[in-house]
Chain A
């Protein structure tokens, strides 16, 4: 009797695990089955390197959007990663316990802020600020990068902090015993020792930034033209799909699915990078 129950429960657990795998597989199959015919019809090279996106004239080039996603994400990393890493070092090693009990929950709250709220914050605060400080129209790569950098902070901080905390305390104590200051111990011993975890934090943050849609649509301007300046507007891959999907039919719709394929390839590459990094840490 117990044996049967044991077996039954085994099956239940296996089934649960399979649901997630099934989901991923279905998404892969759907994306590639729907997207590849469009890629073939438009031509992979013309699609990926085409500079003009104009569905009403049947021109589908996603290079502006690929660059858009890359620029916006890179901007978010330039702002978010240094702040995130410094914060994680502070939280893991230098911060007084009392202060930690205040900062940590606040970061968790930031992690839970819905992206549309960040978008609203962007449109009422960041966009006008960019406009008055740097000129231009406000809705821009810079505005989107600032909003995204806030969004990826909790991810970067949490993953980097936990990888710092996972190190043996003897590293830090040893550094102090050898006469290093706390700061020197943190930056010269701990941070390098946790480097693969910190890198993983950056990769996860990148994934979050490149996949974000709502907040970016609200602050980026969404012009499907080649980005020419960081205070000019840009459209990301995600925004391209979200804005046009509701109206698209025929080849236009397939081209949007193919845009999803491009985005999916980016995410896959990031995930491979992430698992390579974490595997290195485990070894």
Chain B
């Protein structure tokens, strides 16, 4: 019986929710909160709940007052509360001004010998209309001096890469296909294989949620930052907590902080 109810006393323990190893969201989270050691070893506590999609993380955090998780700010909803980190809340302004640290750029990558059709789509993405679509999705767009003029081109543009960028491109492609005769074909995989397909000429545009590596830049590939995505640390809406230091987030995920009373002081509640 001891085995069965051994953990009944842990009613005030922090319910730590992480993503699966290998997920882009998890790797940018562990990088932002120093949860990797110098050998690249992930320090996240081994007994953290592993949820394999954003939706499941949100469902768990919104139903458990003791839960903590993380998600892209584009997926935030009213059902969960995003806490500020070191006093800075994960808003669009703070991400643009780079005050909020836990962010990453979403990139589209092209070859120097880009086709005119692909170029047309890129200029649509970077145009004010493209930026508005990106902002409407909850990401932070990057200002470019780019006007889009409807062209008479037709054909097909193949886009491949990161599943973190793909939803943005999918939405952009819908709007783009409505006003243009060019068809966008989107293949989701991950940043590395997207960039590889681009350099091998399998696709016209690659998608990446990480910066290009030295050897990828050597191939002459040109990256465009189209948006910033920030990772928000989320807690249940009923949780009195509103601010954590990045040190505390790190310790919670390492398992050094196990109970809420260790981070919620009287001032906070």
A binds B: yes
Give min CB distance, B119 to chain A, whole Å.
Answer: 32
B residues less than 8 Å from A232 (CB atoms):
7, 47
- Please choose the segment from B14-22, B139-147, B152-160, B213-221 that sits at the chain A interface, where 4 or more of its residues have CB less than 8 A away: B14-22
B6 within 8 A of A: yes
On whether the beta carbons of A56 and B21 are closer than 8 Å, the reply is yes
B residues less than 8 Å from A57 (CB atoms):
41
A residues less than 8 Å from B78 (CB atoms):
none
Contact A222:B51 (CB < 8 A) given known A127-B60, A136-B10, A231-B5: yes
A128 to B20, alpha carbons, bound, how many Å? 22
A residues less than 8 Å from B66 (CB atoms):
137
Give min CB distance, B209 to chain A, whole Å.
Answer: 14
On whether the beta carbons of B5 and A223 are closer than 8 Å, the reply is no
Contact A56:B60 (CB < 8 A) given known A135-B8, A222-B49: no
Give min CB distance, B108 to chain A, whole Å.
Answer: 22
A16 within 8 A of B: no
B94 within 8 A of A: no
On whether the beta carbons of B49 and A223 are closer than 8 Å, the reply is yes
CB-CB nearest in chain A for B14: A137
Give min CB distance, B115 to chain A, whole Å.
Answer: 30
A57 to B64, alpha carbons, bound, how many Å? 32
CB-CB nearest in chain B for A131: B64
A139 to B59, alpha carbons, bound, how many Å? 12
A31 to B29, alpha carbons, bound, how many Å? 35
A223 to B7, alpha carbons, bound, how many Å? 16
A residues less than 8 Å from B149 (CB atoms):
none
Give min CB distance, A106 to chain B, whole Å.
Answer: 27
A229 within 8 A of B: yes
A224 within 8 A of B: yes
A127 to B56, alpha carbons, bound, how many Å? 12
Q: Number of contact residues on B: which range applies?
A: 20 to 34
B42 within 8 A of A: yes
On whether the beta carbons of A134 and B8 are closer than 8 Å, the reply is yes
A residues less than 8 Å from B23 (CB atoms):
247
B40 within 8 A of A: yes
B263 within 8 A of A: no
A residues less than 8 Å from B42 (CB atoms):
56
On whether the beta carbons of A233 and B60 are closer than 8 Å, the reply is no
On whether the beta carbons of B15 and A137 are closer than 8 Å, the reply is yes
Which listed residue (B22, B41, B47) contacts A225, Cβ 8 A?
A: B47
A78 within 8 A of B: no
CB-CB nearest in chain A for B9: A135
Give min CB distance, A218 to chain B, whole Å.
Answer: 6
A275 within 8 A of B: no
Give min CB distance, B36 to chain A, whole Å.
Answer: 9
On whether the beta carbons of B46 and A224 are closer than 8 Å, the reply is yes
Of listed A131, A137, A218, A224, residue having the most chain B CB within 10 A: A137
Which B residues from 18 to 40 make CB contacts under 8 A with A?
A: 20-23, 40
CB-CB nearest in chain B for A138: B64
B residues less than 8 Å from A229 (CB atoms):
3-7
CB-CB nearest in chain A for B67: A137
On whether the beta carbons of A139 and B46 are closer than 8 Å, the reply is no
B247 within 8 A of A: no
Give min CB distance, B260 to chain A, whole Å.
Answer: 13
B residues less than 8 Å from A124 (CB atoms):
59, 63
CB-CB nearest in chain B for A222: B50
Contact A223:B47 (CB < 8 A) given known A137-B15, A229-B4: yes
A residues less than 8 Å from B190 (CB atoms):
247
On whether the beta carbons of B48 and A223 are closer than 8 Å, the reply is yes
On whether the beta carbons of A243 and B50 are closer than 8 Å, the reply is yes
Which listed residue (B7, B8, B52, B67) contacts A217, Cβ 8 A?
A: B52
On whether the beta carbons of A128 and B8 are closer than 8 Å, the reply is no
A230 within 8 A of B: yes
Give min CB distance, A137 to chain B, whole Å.
Answer: 4
CB-CB nearest in chain A for B26: A247
Known: A218-B56, A223-B48, A247-B20; 12 extra A-B contacts, CB below 8 A, are A135-B7, A135-B10, A137-B13, A137-B15, A138-B63, A217-B52, A223-B46, A223-B49, A229-B4, A231-B5, A246-B22, A247-B21
Question: Can you show 8 pairs from A to B with CB atoms below 8 A apart?
Answer: A55-B21, A138-B64, A222-B20, A222-B49, A222-B51, A223-B49, A233-B49, A244-B22
